[in-house]
Amino acid sequence: MILAVASGKGGTGKTTVSVNLAKVFGARVQLLDCDVEEPNCHLFIGGNPCSREVVSIQVPGVDESLCDGCGECGRFCQYHAVVSFGGAPLFFPELCHGCGGCQKVCPRGAIGEKERRIGIVETVEADKVTLIQGSLDVGVPMAPPLIRAVKSRMKHGVTSILDAPPGTSCPVISTLRCSDFVLLVTEPTPFGLHDLRLAVEMVKELGIPFGVVINRVGIGDERVYTFCGEKGIPVLLEIPDDRRIAETYSRGELVVDALPEYGSLFSTLLWNIREVRGKEKGAKRVRSKN
């Protein structure tokens, strides 16, 4: 199973849910930190670093001896990453999306590709958890290529938990694509509900089954519950608003370790996810039979 943990609003508890779920999983599990702009899972997981690789994307370069200054590359580029005005082209790699188009359109084959570093991917082994973390170099604007690199290191056949970045735009989509199930973590406040609606729209657009985790139950009001009820969205876990949880988190500790009374919380979540997925699969079988 590939389980992604996302939210609309930042700071609702995605990482808390991801790392604690990984800890209670009970068998080998992969934890992928796809929040490559601000990766935090490693702070809670500990363990031993195993590997560290630099990730690069392909950006164009020109062989000036072959270039005749025709300008076709500059005219093609949709991102103004290639500029040509009679001489050899100028490149702006920070604007480049790595589509390879300029290389393809060059009639002289003068454009080749070279690597441009965007960040690193590291693996850490912590007992039964393998953490695969991406870390975007500061100043690099685009996260999706690094997120794809993190996901490419995922082994199939082992359950994976993906900690997504906040929001609903391209880095989140890159993370969620091809997941089997999404957990949307929210809080029962106006900001939480507003951003949950956006996240629900996004997950529905992606066509992935999902459920909601409500964190900090006790603050705010009932509207998140009403919303989930109206839309038939399963609430798979409620985490109470307990200042001790905030303090545990602030120290970089796992809730399941520091507050044993919450031990069953995350195991229950796993159980609930399996239940809902089981029902989904059953419903799919029924639908395809009819």
The residues of the shown chain that bind another protein, judged by CB under 8 A, are 8-12, 15, 37-38, 40, 43, 74, 76, 78-81, 83, 85-87, 90, 92, 94-95, 97-101, 104-105, 136, 138-143, 165-171, 173, 177, 189-191, 194-195, 198, 201-202, 205-206, 219-221, 243, 246-247, 249-252
Residues with Cβ < 8 Å from 241, sequence gap 6 or more? 216, 217, 218, 219
Q: Give the shortest CB-170-to-another protein separation in angstroms.
A: 5
Residues with Cβ < 8 Å from 263, sequence gap 6 or more? 24, 256
Q: Give the shortest CB-274-to-another protein separation in angstroms.
A: 28
Q: Give the shortest CB-178-to-another protein separation in angstroms.
A: 9
Q: Give the shortest CB-266-to-another protein separation in angstroms.
A: 18
The two tokens of residue 203 are 């997950």
Q: Which is nearer to another protein, 109 or 252 (CB)?
A: 252
Q: Which is nearer to another protein, 26 or 251 (CB)?
A: 251
Which ranges in the chain belong to alpha helices (H)? 14-24, 41-45, 72-76, 101-105, 144-152, 170-176, 190-206, 223-231, 243-250, 255-258, 263-289
Q: Report the distance separating Cα 121 and Cα 140, nearest Å.
A: 15
Q: Give the shortest CB-195-to-another protein separation in angstroms.
A: 5
The β-bridge partners of 124 are: 49, 131
Q: Are 14 and 6 in contact (CB under 8 A)?
A: yes
Q: Give the shortest CB-148-to-another protein separation in angstroms.
A: 8
Cα separations (Å) of 57 from 104, 136, 221? 17, 12, 46
Q: Are 191 and 218 in contact (CB under 8 A)?
A: no
User: How many CA atoms lie within 13 Å of 133's alpha carbon, on the beta-carbon side?
Assistant: 27
Q: Report the distance separating Cα 271 and Cα 228, nearest Å.
A: 20
Q: Give the shortest CB-188-to-another protein separation in angstroms.
A: 9
Which of the 8 DSSP states describes residue 219? B
Q: Which is nearer to another protein, 187 or 273 (CB)?
A: 187
